[in-house]
């Protein structure tokens, strides 16, 4: 596993590092020429199920733009297949073949053996660790229970997630049974990634911002706490990603994650104050990566002025890298952050 004094690991723990570490969500894909060449010949599912291809994609951003962490190339839906959920991945996102409509569908969900059922992900991590020779950490990841439930209940996501909200409120007992199953799966899947060489785990709760704070606290929060408690027991940092959740920072600060990732909808210093003493990740608007570098530089400098060199900042986007992002912009931004924040 990567050295404990690695800048990314130190920042996750809220400790001083030699510079602010940088990585980008969706950095392993869409905008990279090497990825696009592979994509001409393979579907996304074919790529992430092939450890040779997937590990090459995982490590590409480290070699091409110099980021301080590599996130494993996989998909949020990956472990659901082993639970008995059939899906396709389209350009607009996952499409569930048979959405869950009643308690019987929840009862039919299987628990997984991640080392066997998702062995290709574990092999990808091992290969990536070997390829990078512990120069930077590998971030493992999973979808969070609410976000996974949103897909498997709605089938194709509705604009305001009214289908899952109605199910959640009208079927409280089955809902909690579903969340227990998903939380157990996410926990075991995450820990398996750590045992395979991941040095940190990020949980993506992309749709949590559609909930009001009371619903989040009642229907989601207990299961997130359970997962983060189990991840902490294996001794690696954890990151919680969500968007549009600034009204719930008091709740997010209680989840047990080491790092809270925030979007661009508020200044990062205000977000940090609202969250408390935890480490923070973010929060550049991904669309700014498409701009002339002078515009991008000005926005990045504003973020670094707001964080003011405070230990525990991981520079990242507020959401994923856009396909049209110029590779040169990403490379120059990494260098800018390193140079400006170096001790």
Could you tell me the CATH number of the domain that includes residue 99? 3.20.20.210
Beta-ladder partners of 143: 204
Residue at 332 is within a domain: yes
Question: Cis (ω within 30 of 0) for the bond into 283?
Answer: yes
* Rounded Cα distance, 18 and 199, in Å: 19
Any domain includes 2: no
Nearest-angstrom CA–CA distance, 98 and 18? 50
- Domain count for the chain, please give it: 1
CA distance readout (Å), 337 to 4, 274, 301: 21, 24, 8
Cα separation, 66 vs 155, in Å, equals 38
Pick the closest to residue 308 from 248, 267, 275 (CA basis): 267
Q: Give the up-direction half-sphere exposure of residue 101: CA atoms within 13 A in the CB hemisphere.
A: 3
For residues 256 and 225, is the Cβ–Cβ distance under 8 A?
Answer: yes
User: Directed axis angle between helix 51-65 and helix 327-341, to 10°?
Assistant: 60
317: which strand partners?
Answer: 284
- 1 in a domain, yes or no? no
- Could you read off the pLDDT tens digit of each residue along the chain, which spans 343 residues? 666 679 999 999 999 999 999 999 999 888 999 999 999 999 989 999 999 999 999 999 999 999 999 999 999 999 999 999 999 887 667 889 999 988 999 999 999 999 999 999 999 999 999 999 989 999 999 999 999 999 999 998 888 899 999 999 999 999 999 999 999 999 999 999 999 999 999 999 999 999 999 999 999 999 999 999 999 999 999 999 999 999 999 999 999 999 999 999 999 999 999 999 889 999 999 999 999 999 999 999 999 999 998 999 999 999 999 999 999 999 999 999 999 999 8
The residues with which 8 forms a beta bridge, in sequence order, are: none
- The reply to whether 256 falls in a domain is yes
What pTM, to 2 d.p., does this model score? 0.96
Domain span at 215: 7-341
Burial string for 18-37 (b: 16+ CB within 10 Å, else e) reads ebbbbbbbbbbbebbebbee
Report in angstroms the alpha-carbon separations of 49 from 78, 81, 118: 9, 12, 9
- For residue 191, the tally of other CB atoms under 10 A from its CB is 20
Q: Is 137 exposed, middle or buried (0-12, 13-18, 19+ CB in 10 A)?
A: buried
- pLDDT the model gives residue 1: 64
């Amino acid at each position: 596993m990567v050295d404990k004094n690695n800048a990314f690991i130190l920042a996750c723990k809220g400790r001083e590092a030699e510079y602010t570490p940088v990585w980008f969500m969706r950095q392993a894909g869409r905008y990279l020429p090497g990825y696009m060449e592979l994509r001409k010949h393979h579907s996304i599912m074919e790529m992430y199920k092939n450890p040779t291809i997937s590990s090459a994609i995982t490590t590409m951003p480290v070699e091409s733009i110099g980021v301080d962490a590599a996130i494993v190339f996989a998909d949020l839906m990956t472990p659901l297949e082993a639970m008995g959920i059939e899906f396709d991945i389209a350009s607009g996102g996952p499409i569930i073949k048979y959405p869950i409509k009643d308690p019987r569908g929840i009862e039919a969900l299987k628990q997984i053996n991640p080392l066997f059922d998702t062995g290709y992900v574990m092999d990808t991590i091992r290969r990536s660790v070997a390829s990078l020779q512990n120069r930077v950490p590998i971030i493992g990841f999973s979808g969070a229970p609410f976000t996974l439930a949103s897909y498997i209940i709605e089938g194709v996501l509705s604009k305001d997630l009214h289908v899952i909200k109605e199910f959640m409120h009208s079927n409280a007992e089955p809902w909690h049974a579903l969340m227990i199953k998903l939380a157990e799966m996410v926990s075991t899947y995450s820990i398996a990634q750590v045992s395979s060489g991941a040095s940190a785990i990020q949980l993506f709760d992309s749709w949590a911002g559609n909930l009001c704070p009371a619903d989040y606290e009642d229907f989601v929060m207990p299961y997130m706490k359970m997962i983060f408690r189990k991840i902490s027991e294996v001794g690696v940092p954890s990151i919680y990603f969500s968007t549009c959740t600034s009204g719930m920072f008091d709740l997010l600060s209680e989840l047990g994650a080491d790092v809270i990732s925030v979007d661009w909808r508020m200044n990062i210093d205000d977000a940090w104050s609202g969250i408390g003493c935890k480490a923070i990740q973010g929060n550049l608007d991904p669309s700014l990566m498409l701009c002339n570098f002078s515009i991008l530089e000005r926005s990045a400098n504003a973020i670094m002025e707001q964080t003011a060199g405070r230990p525990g900042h991981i520079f990242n986007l507020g959401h994923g890298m856009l396909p049209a992002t110029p590779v040169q912009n990403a490379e120059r931004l990494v260098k800018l952050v390193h140079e400006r924040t170096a001790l």
